[in-house]
Structure 1
């Protein structure tokens, strides 16, 4: 039995409401994780509760900022919002065969003023994943706010000191992969030019001057269960596009 998982940074769930609802209705994922929802339980559009899915929300303390939301066809065994973070960046849904971790990693900012905070977040996240893996494997998805390798960014040389492509952020991504996590997209696709985020400026999306900063990473134990991993490039509504993973697993 296979499960379909989707992740999407919507850059505001209210602004992307129609596109997000249509995505769920057309793709019918078993689980979908949204990042940067910029909403809470009171302001998430009610239509998301009318789809027949379990809806779980982890908002930021600051209104209209950050936050994650996950929808699942089946009620999770447990829902964990216990990652120490006031910005609603991490949400864990436990299912039969794996933990689904919906994550919105901090942006280190143009002036790199949040680089230290981001690196601390990365280290804590890796420890958190290792703790969960003692019980069962994980599928962690979301906006990692880093292009891992040169193949993951259209203009690597021009961006090598910029937020999202600094040596430090890339080294942290190395640590995730080095721990045994697998970048699912690269199991199936080794080609350049596959991106998940484009700047709104300079018609970057039309020119495909983008970055691949959204990922599904899975525990090594799940690698043989990966059926496909893809980027849903035609979906509009955000500066990111959704990514999709199919696993031969149960929820």
Structure 2
């Protein structure tokens, strides 16, 4: 069994003060992916014995960024998706293993007043094209903060958020295309009727009231779906406005 965890830490240095290291050690994942590290090289010295560490930093300081930690050394590691305009914000790391690729991704947020929605649409097409290219070589597992609540079941207040970043018709349609193109939402496949969230605003006591959104996913190639043993959303883990999500894969 391979255990994989993905967590948008919303600033790793802040999360370190809220129990990141303890959770990391207790989780004992084979692969542990991060989004929104908000770091530059040299700003943190993370001791993770037994793990290979890979980082992708945004050019802009204190913004975006991803990391991937793995017990098994990958065959190869790629940073970004190979398109310059999409690769300045440190949003993607791809690790190649014998059986599959694992991709950690932090999808761009469409932002207030949807001022980045047009860019987000371009990103979605480019990223999906990148994933399908990988898939020609071997199956793909991609995980992270996809910045979309896929359906009304994945958000507390659907009607009130239809014009807001993360729940626009356009963003949900792009997610539907990802599924049409053969990627399976591991959690929803196993738990079609379960309402669970992975992100809560820091405002309005949203987490205490469980007024959340499910924004964090493990998506797998169709050919891997029978290997999915479990998918979990660890709502009990604090330290960020997102909680970790898990994929257990029989390999």
**Structure 1: gaps spanning 5 or more residues:** none
RMSD: 1.0
Residue 62 of structure 1, aligned match among 60, 63, 68? 60
* Mapped partners of 1:26, 1:150: distance in 2: 33
Mapped contact 1:9–1:35 kept (Cα < 8 A) = yes
Superposed counterparts of 1:200-215, under 5 Å: 200-215=202-217
Instruction: Find the counterpart in structure 2 of residue 42 from structure 1.
Output: 42
- Output the TM-score relative to the length of structure 1: 0.96
Distance 2:4 2:171 in 1: 26
Please state if 1:10 is matched with 2:9: yes
**Consecutive aligned runs of 4 or more in structure 1 exceeding 4 Å deviation:** none
2:26 alignment counterpart: 26
- Paired residue total: 246
Task: Quote the offset at 1:40 in angstroms.
Answer: 2.4
- Name the CA distance, whole Å, in 1 between partners of 2:71 and 2:47: 12
Cα shift at 1:221? 0.4
Which consecutive residues of structure 2, in runs of 5 or more, have no partner in the other structure? none
Alignment of 1:1-251 (within 5 A): 2-18=1-17, 19-44=19-44, 46=45, 48-83=46-81, 84=83, 85-249=87-251
Kept in 2, the 8 Å contact 1:141–1:215? The answer is: yes
Q: Deviations over 1:185-219 (max 9, x none)?
A: 01221234300000011110011100001100000
Secondary structure of the 1:140 match is strand
User: Given the two structures, how large is their TM-score scaled by the length of structure 2?
Assistant: 0.96
d(CA) in 1 for partners of 2:47, 2:73: 13
